[in-house]
């Protein structure tokens, strides 16, 4: 658990020092000298900014296992850019955080965090990026392990993390106006605020917002752990108990001021048992505080004009270099270089709810057509093996890439023609938006954020039912449309210029925060 107190001097300007009471109590601050007045005005101005604290388990560019990290990284930046918020983010200091960043973090100090009978070291590091202050909670016993999740004691790890978030507030002298918690790993922060902290003066005005990025992962634990591990008093059992288990997502929904999901359609869907993984009743009971806000993407980072990972850059005005991206991609993946054969691509976790059952059902039928098919991603071993087998049997048509590779993903987004995303459910989905940015036309199932972001014939193709042949029919529609170069180019242009930036959605979060603070 011991942590080296490595204070980096490489970028001192990124260090954030906790305000000391000494500074705050300086009698000079009240003096009427012009200089001091100026200072006071300045302070008031920063204080006018509403204080937002994101609590999450991952954030780009530091560590990412999925879309959650991208949203934390890009939404926080977009909110800070409005100039209306002092945005800070807190995540665990996982050992897999990229070294290039870790070396630049500043050590701020440590406290001890009490959780039931445990009393644990909690180091705090910080780093400022694009106007957002990131805090990293250090405890090597909990976080010095490969990856982020999947350990027997994940419940304890994220309980410690969530408790630390509340405990570091006095240390940082930062009490947010809105504590915005994301997914079950941060659910306990909202729960602890309600059960243990909101009675204290400094914490009484903190409002909790809880965002569900995926309702499938709820954080469910045995009821026995309520006091001993989660340190929740028996009188609050009713808040977290669901179906004879502790359900942390349920607890956060009950305890938060408001909750949200990552698309308006998903906000509707999760009231239905088909989508809710057992929580539909809780969602319906708390519907009055639910909002759906569609995610945006980092449209500067994902840009066909500037992305350095591409074989060649192009623009929505001139797609001609996209042909180079395609040719080089085919070459790289050992597919024949056929400029007029459409490439259909999937960049996805290889799990059933991403619609892979539909794909495996019709793929051999589809491979009879003049197409090439590329898959990139890792996941369930039976899908991995199945796609590798297809590559062996159809080497000229199918390419399975069983890796998680950001560079290759961008080469695939830019070099393909059609992007397939037939998810059974999809809270938001970012890949369909990213594909659009590179002029690659999405074919999606009408669910969650796919429904909200892709409109048939405007910027993609859609199908409604979770049915393999409905999907095949629409893929073939897209493939035949691809042959009409003039119309296809117009479609590519509409896709590439669809506004998926945060500008609209950040505004919606802004309104939600202000509404909560009324
Ligand atoms: C989860 C969801 C995905 C969403 C992402 C970011 O990974 O499954 O649909 O885009 O969170 O909110």
Residue 486 has pLDDT above 90, yes or no: yes
Tell me the CATH class for 322-500. alpha beta
Residue 379 has pLDDT above 80, yes or no: yes
Helical packing angle, 322-332 and 406-415, nearest 10°: 130
Distance 200 CA to ligand 1 centre (A): 35
pLDDT at position 6 is 36
Q: Which of 215, 377, 404, 429 to mutate to test the pocket of ligand 1 (most atoms within 8 A of CB)?
A: 429
Give CA–CA dist 35/409, Å, rounded.
54
| More reliable by pLDDT, 21 or 330 | 330
Model pTM? 0.90
Please name the residue whose Cα sits nearest to atom 7 of ligand 1: 67
| Ligand 1 atom closest to 66 (CA) | 7
- Percentage, residues of the chain above pLDDT 70: 91
Q: Which of 66, 216, 421 to mutate to test the pocket of ligand 1 (most atoms within 8 A of CB)?
A: 66
Does an H or E element contain 473, and which? Answer: helix 468-482
* Span 348-362, pLDDT tens digits: 999 999 999 999 999
Tell me: domain 49-296+505-516, CATH 3.40.50.2000, correct?
yes
The lowest-confidence range among 4-13, 88-97, 491-500 is 4-13
Residue 36 has pLDDT above 50, yes or no: no
Give CA–CA dist 464/186, Å, rounded.
33
Q: CB-based contacts of 201: which residues, under 8 Å, 6+ apart?
A: none
Distance 215 CA to ligand 1 centre (A): 10
Backbone φ and ψ for 418, nearest 5 degrees, come out as -130, 140
| Contact criterion met (CB below 8 Å) for 29 and 19 | no
pLDDT at position 404 is 87
Distance 67 CA to ligand 1 centre (A): 5
Give CA–CA dist 31/329, Å, rounded.
68
Ligand 1 residue neighbourhood (C-beta within 6 Å): 66-68, 71, 213-214, 262, 295, 426-430, 449
Residue 90 has pLDDT above 70, yes or no: yes
* Span 242-254, pLDDT tens digits: 999 999 999 999 9
Give bridge partners of residue 451 from the DSSP assignment.
none
Confidence of residue 45 (pLDDT cuts 50, 70, 90): low
Give CA–CA dist 410/404, Å, rounded.
12
Does an H or E element contain 475, and which? Answer: helix 468-482
| More reliable by pLDDT, 141 or 37 | 141
Residue 277 has pLDDT above 50, yes or no: yes
Distance 447 CA to ligand 1 centre (A): 13
* Span 46-84, pLDDT tens digits: 558 999 999 999 999 999 999 999 999 999 999 999 999
Nearest to 509 by CA among 42, 50, 3: 50
Rounded mean pLDDT of the chain?
92
- Average pLDDT of span 155-172: 98
* Span 96-107, pLDDT tens digits: 999 999 999 999
């Amino acid at each position: 658990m011991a942590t080296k107190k490595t204070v980096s001097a490489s970028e001192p300007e990124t260090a954030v020092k906790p305000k000391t009471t000494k500074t705050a109590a300086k009698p000079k601050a009240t003096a009427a000298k012009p200089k001091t007045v100026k200072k006071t005005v300045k302070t008031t101005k920063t204080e006018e900014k509403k204080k937002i604290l994101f609590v999450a388990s991952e954030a780009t560019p530091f560590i990412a296992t999925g879309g959650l990290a991208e949203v934390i990284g890009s939404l926080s930046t977009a909110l800070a850019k409005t100039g209306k918020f002092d945005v800070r983010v807190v995540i665990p200091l996982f050992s897999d955080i990229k070294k290039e960043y870790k070396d630049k973090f500043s050590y701020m100090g440590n406290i001890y965090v009490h959780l039931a009978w445990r009393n644990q070291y909690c180091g705090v590091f910080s780093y400022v990026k694009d106007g957002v202050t990131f805090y990293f909670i250090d405890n090597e016993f909990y976080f010095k392990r490969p990856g982020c999740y999947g350990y027997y004691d994940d419940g304890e790890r994220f309980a410690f993390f969530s408790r630390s978030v509340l405990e570091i507030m006095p240390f940082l002298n930062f009490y947010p106006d809105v504590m915005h918690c994301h997914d079950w790993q941060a659910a306990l922060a909202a729960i602890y605020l309600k059960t243990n902290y909101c009675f204290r003066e400094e914490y009484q005005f903190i409002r909790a917002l809880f965002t569900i990025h995926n309702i499938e992962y709820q954080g469910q634990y045995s009821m026995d752990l309520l006091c001993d591990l989660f340190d929740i008093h028996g009188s609050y059992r009713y808040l977290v108990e669901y179906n004879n288990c502790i359900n942390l997502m349920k607890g956060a929904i009950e305890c938060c001021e408001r909750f949200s999901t990552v698309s308006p359609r998903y906000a509707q869907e999760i009231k239905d048992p088909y989508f809710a993984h057992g929580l539909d009743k809780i969602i319906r009971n708390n519907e009055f505080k639910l909002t759906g806000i569609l995610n945006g993407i980092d449209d500067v980072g994902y840009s066909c004009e500037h992305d350095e990972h591409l074989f060649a850059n192009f623009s929505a005005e001139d797609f001609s270099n996209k042909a180079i991206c395609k040719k080089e991609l085919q070459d790289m993946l050992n597919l024949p270089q056929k400029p007029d054969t459409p490439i259909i691509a999937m960049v996805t976790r290889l799990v059933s709810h991403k619609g892979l059952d539909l794909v495996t059902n019709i793929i051999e039928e589809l491979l009879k057509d003049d197409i090439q098919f590329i898959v990139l991603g890792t996941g369930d071993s039976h899908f991995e093996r199945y796609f590798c087998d297809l590559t062996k049997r159809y080497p000229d048509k199918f390419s399975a890439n069983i890796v998680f590779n950001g560079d290759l993903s961008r080469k695939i987004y830019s070099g393909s023609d059609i992007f397939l995303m037939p998810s059974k459910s999809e809270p938001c989905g970012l890949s369909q938006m990213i594909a659009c940015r590179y002029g690659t036309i999405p074919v999606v199932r009408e669910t969650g954020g796919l429904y909200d972001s892709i409109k048939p014939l405007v910027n993609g193709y859609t199908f409604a039912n979770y049915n393999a042949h409905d999907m095949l029919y629409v893929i073939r529609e897209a493939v035949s449309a691809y042959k009409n170069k003039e119309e296809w180019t117009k479609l590519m242009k509409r896709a590439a210029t669809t506004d998926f930036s945060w500008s609209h959605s950040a505004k919606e979060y802004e309104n939600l925060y202000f509404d909560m603070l009324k």
